[in-house]
């Protein structure tokens, strides 16, 4: 399988790895049977994502997409983070092999679940903002 230099870079030197103890939103997606589990932690102040950390159990592409996705939303308003698509993550990594695109879908879903958690913690129905989210435990492998 051919991976871009950016994928190798984010796999070898992932950004924003870890947890945020007092996170304002946490999202976890994946399924142990698929082998990829992503957990995203968000710190949000005045509607801006001031910090984001992730823990990913999975293949190199899963780690690289988690790393790139967190880089793409850090310092951004929540409204912008909500628009992040797996396609944008794949493009930022200069592409992924087709069999690994599901990893970018997981990264997008983990962020959406974390934002939904943030809204719920603040007494706001997340559905108008994040839409209907698939079950966090669902396997996204196609």
pLDDT at 1: 67
Q: Is the pLDDT of residue 136 over 90?
A: no
Out of 68, 72, 73, 103, pick the active-site residue.
103
pLDDT at 141: 43
pLDDT at 140: 45
The answer to whether the CB of 40 falls within 8 A of the CB of 26 is: yes
Residue 20: give the domain boundaries.
5-130
pLDDT band at residue 27 using 50, 70 and 90 as cut-offs: very high
pLDDT tens profile 39-53: 999 999 999 999 999
Active site residue 59: no
Q: Is 126 contained in some domain?
A: yes
> What's the order of all strands across the beta sheet hosting 25-31?
25-31, 36-45, 48-57
User: What is the number of structural domains in the chain?
Assistant: 1
Q: Residue 54 is encoded by which pair of tokens?
A: 């992730």
Q: Is the pLDDT of residue 55 over 50?
A: yes
Q: Residue 123 is encoded by which pair of tokens?
A: 């007494």
Active site residue 103: yes
Q: Is 120 contained in some domain?
A: yes
Q: Residue 47 is encoded by which pair of tokens?
A: 């509607």
Say which DSSP state 21 is in.
Answer: T
């Amino acid at each position: 399988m051919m991976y871009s230099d950016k994928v190798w870079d984010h796999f070898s030197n992932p950004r924003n790895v870890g947890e945020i103890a007092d996170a304002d939103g946490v999202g976890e997606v994946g399924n142990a049977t698929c082998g990829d589990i992503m957990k995203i932690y968000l710190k949000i102040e005045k509607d801006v994502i001031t910090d984001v950390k992730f823990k990913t159990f999975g293949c190199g592409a899963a780690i690289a997409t988690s790393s790139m996705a967190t880089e793409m939303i850090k310092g951004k308003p929540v409204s912008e983070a909500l628009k992040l698509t797996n396609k944008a993550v794949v493009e930022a990594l200069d592409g992924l092999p087709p069999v690994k695109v599901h990893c970018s879908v997981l990264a997008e879903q983990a962020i959406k679940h974390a934002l939904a958690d943030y809204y719920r913690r603040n007494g706001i129905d997340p559905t108008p903002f994040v839409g209907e989210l698939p079950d966090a435990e669902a396997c996204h492998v196609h």
